[in-house]
Amino acid sequence: MREYQKQSKTRQVKDFYLVYVQLATSIMSDLDVAAFVEGQVKAIKEVLGEEKALIAVSGGVDSTVSAALTHRALGDNLLCVFIDDHFMRLGEPDMVKAALSAPPLNLPVRVLKENDRFMEALEGLSDAEEKRKAFRETFYQTLSDVAWAENYKHLIQGTIRADIEETTGGIKTQHNILEQVGIDPVKKFGYKIVEPIASLYKYQVREVARFLGIPSELSERQPFPRSWTFG
């Protein structure tokens, strides 16, 4: 009982610290959005050149901004994949594809129906952390199948600063954290990771989204609490 109370108190302290840092940072935002966009588009072009890239999109602001920046840099060499894992809002795959494919984004989106694959991966698991790790493995293996079949060498990630802090700080494993926790994506999945917005917090990502003209239903969209994230 004492050990549980100790772990619970430690987690509360970590949660408070993370929220405090995010709030303090948000009060003093010094992000030059125009310069950030220009710099990231240029950096993506320099890193990838004429090579193709893959990105998993969810309709959330992080993956949408990452896709929009990369599309500016690569054009038709970017493929956006929406993985239908069964744990989402009703009608979400069609809604997300329609929103991302329409102006002003005009992103190429492919929907992958992987319901059975994810259900099988999570079957029998009750611990929330085990579920998150099983989801992460299945998520990246699904993308790896596409990458190997169609010769994609790079995966664009919508990783943000808070994702890294939460995972490396032991608060909660975010499925988009690999290299930061010692997982080599090239050896394990066959592609390199590119993270255009990893230096930003969520509120800054929304600033970039508004600058890019991304519709408010995407730029202000709130995450959906999937059942596998809970114990």
Question: Tokens in use for 119?
Answer: 């259900």
How far apart, in whole angstroms, are the C-alpha atoms of residue 128 and residue 137?
14
Locus of tokens 């069609």: 94
Question: Tokens in use for 65?
Answer: 């901004």
Question: For residue 219, how many other CB atoms are within 10 A of its CB?
Answer: 20
User: What pLDDT score was predicted for residue 179?
Assistant: 60
User: What pLDDT score was predicted for residue 145?
Assistant: 94
Q: Using CA of residue 150, residue 105, residue 82, residue 195, what is the dihedral sign?
A: positive
User: What pLDDT score was predicted for residue 228?
Assistant: 40
User: What pLDDT score was predicted for residue 44?
Assistant: 97
The series of mean pLDDT values per 10 residues for the chain, 231 residues long, is 45 43 50 97 96 95 97 97 88 93 96 92 89 88 94 93 70 54 75 91 95 93 57 38
How far apart, in whole angstroms, are the C-alpha atoms of residue 104 and residue 213?
7
User: What pLDDT score was predicted for residue 154?
Assistant: 95
User: What pLDDT score was predicted for residue 211?
Assistant: 97
Crossing angle of helices 61-74 and 202-211, in 10° steps, is: 50
User: What pLDDT score was predicted for residue 161?
Assistant: 86
